[in-house]
Amino acid sequence: MNSNERVTLENERDFLLKSIENLESEFAAGGIDEDSYKVLHDDYTARAAAVLRSLRAGKKTEQKAAPVSSRRRLLTIGAVALFVAIAGVSLAFALGARLPGQTATGNSESSGNTKVTPGDRQRRLEAAVAADPNDIAARLLLAQYLEAQGDLAKALAQYDAVLGIDPASAPALAQSGRILYLTAERAPAADAAGLVAKALARLDSALGNDPDYSEARFFRAIIRANDFGDFVGAQSDLQRYLVAEPSGRFADQARQLLTDVTNALESPSPTTSGG
């Protein structure tokens, strides 16, 4: 493991451990229900354990083999944390969504005070999709649950099914683009570039169909900065996201990345051999 790989893992470790700490504080303060807390806590803990194992073993699982500049390495570290945060925030959003027949407290209207668990929610969404394959809202929410279970392939299949129903669906285009990018991060180097290109194309299409779908700008900014060194384009996307969503789901992450991108633009490019 070289020093840059270790720094990336250490930053991811610190981010995850801090996320666990914040989650515990939020739960103690009553800001999140017990079911949501357990799912998110287990997810963060498993991710942190995997990073710690990699650090102890002195190696990282799979990484794209491409030389990068010092500026880009700094953004790569931030992007790892950002995509972890996206998964956690998306899951929390999915867990908080009210399903048909469910009251605002999370109970079933037909079964008194029976609490709906995350597993119940997923099964009900799967049943809703089976009963009505054209139910776009159910498919979009089911995709988030599947991603939370680490099944990116099935999550992507749900987004693709939505696009089969509505090819112009900005949420499906943007979120599937994000999933494709996550897939690229885990793919062999020979396949990664194609997946990144597809991810960017879907995000471009999402914004072409709906310029007001702000989350697509945030996702695209990460790819522009991290994989293409397009700091100007990333800066524009982040600024427009924050104007539209100053208190959005990813506002804090967007501000941090905007700071990184702006610093990169203001810093002189390092001299590297071979371009």
Of residues 273 and 90, more confidently modeled: 90
Q: Band of the pLDDT at 270, cuts 50, 70, 90?
A: very low
Query: Rounded to an integer, what distance in angstroms lies between the CA atom of residue 168 and that of residue 205?
Result: 8
Query: Rounded to an integer, what distance in angstroms lies between the CA atom of residue 40 and that of residue 9?
Result: 20
> Which CATH number applies to 62-266: 1.10.357.20, 1.10.150.120, 1.25.40.10, 1.10.10.10?
1.25.40.10
Per-residue pLDDT, averaged over 175-192, amounts to 84
0.85 surpassed by pTM? no
Q: Band of the pLDDT at 208, cuts 50, 70, 90?
A: very high
> From residue 228, how far is each of 117, 175, 189, 193, 202 by CA, in Å?
41, 20, 15, 11, 16
pLDDT of 4 higher than 70:
no
Residue 58: which residues within 8 A CB-CB, separation 6 or more?
Answer: 1
Work out the number of other CB atoms within 10 angstroms of the CB of residue 95.
Answer: 22
Query: Coil, strand or helix: which one is 217?
Result: helix
Closest CA to 11 of 57, 48, 43: 48
| Most confident option among 33-37, 74-78, 185-189 | 185-189
Of residues 29 and 236, more confidently modeled: 236
